[in-house]
Amino acid sequence: MKRTLAALLSALLLAVSPCALAKDVAPVNMEVPPQAIATQAEGELEDYGLTFPEEMPLAARNFVLLARAEFEKNDWVKLPKNNEYTKWYYQDNREIGWCSVFQLWCAYHSGMQLIRYKQDVTVEPGECISAMEGRVGNVYLAFEEQGRWLDGTQGAVPKPGYLVIYGVRSSTPYTHIAIVESVTDKGDGLYELTTIEGNLNSSVRRLNYRYDATPKQKYHNMFTIPEEEIVQENCQYTLQKDTWYVTGFCATW
């Protein structure tokens, strides 16, 4: 009897699994991204003491809170290059850089509308979006195509919930991508950013640094925070590389 029940249960799971999986995938080979899912209700996610601009949409707030929850869950542990985020997106066990896939996972599960580069889609003003692209450069192109790219070397002002793209001086301008958790205006075009970074040293990390929107040298706009001004806990305060700079921001909302 037990064996029969187990067999029936197994058959039932096989029958419903494809439907269940279909609601929770945004695989790379989708020509058209899936419809946005509902975002979490107000207060459903832990707020970690964060505050947001009043005009910031709920889906964008939840985007930040979900990313922060993933950081807390992973607790600085190094992840393999094939992990829950890459398997969700690529639907296989390939080993690959996953900074963009991490932000995409958080965006989809926060109820954001997903877009693709060169996709004929209408994005309404104020719609919360992210790009269903594994390559950082294609994320930039998708947002530029929608008029939502802010050049970090031309005075761009960041906001919580935006994506930040980093470049490397004398190399590619699209080397890494992260989620802006919070922004503090320090005056005179200087901002303090806290970000959630997927695949930074193979882990999910929080990074805290200064961004200068009007630097004296064009590609020198990232700086460490003076030690005596460090007040946050559980962050990385050293820059990943001295040659990194903020290429720009993707306005997700």
| 175-208 per-position pLDDT tens digit | 999 999 999 999 999 999 999 999 999 999 999 9
| Residue 157 pLDDT greater than 50, yes or no | yes
Cross-strand bridge partners of residue 1: none
- Sign of the CA dihedral with 97 first, then 100, 106, and 108 last: negative
| Residue 7 pLDDT greater than 50, yes or no | no
One-letter amino acid of 174: Y
Indicate the pTM of the whole model: 0.90
Chain-wide mean pLDDT for the chain?
Answer: 91
Report the 10 Å Cβ neighbour count for 112. Answer: 27
One-letter amino acid of 161: G
Q: What value does the mean pLDDT take over residues 70-85?
A: 98
Q: What percent of the chain stands above pLDDT 70?
A: 91
Question: Residue 125 has what pLDDT?
Answer: 87
In terms of DSSP H, where are the helices of 83-242? 84-90, 99-108, 136-145
Question: Residue 70 has what pLDDT?
Answer: 98
Q: What value does the mean pLDDT take over residues 237-242?
A: 95
Tens digits of per-residue pLDDT, 158-178?
999 999 999 999 999 999 999
| Residue 6 pLDDT greater than 80, yes or no | no
Tens digits of per-residue pLDDT, 30-54?
989 999 999 999 999 999 999 999 9
Q: What value does the mean pLDDT take over residues 75-99?
A: 97
Asked if 200 contacts 240 with a C-beta cutoff of 8 angstroms, the reply is yes
| Residue 14 pLDDT greater than 50, yes or no | no
Tell me how far apart the alpha carbons of residues 209 and 221 are, in angstroms, rounded to a whole number.
10
Asked if 102 contacts 204 with a C-beta cutoff of 8 angstroms, the reply is yes
Q: Which residues contact 2 (CB under 8 A, 6 or more apart)?
A: none
- The three-class DSSP label of residue 168 is strand
Tens digits of per-residue pLDDT, 106-122?
999 999 999 999 998 88
Tell me how far apart the alpha carbons of residues 24 and 87 are, in angstroms, rounded to a whole number.
12
| Residue 22 pLDDT greater than 80, yes or no | no
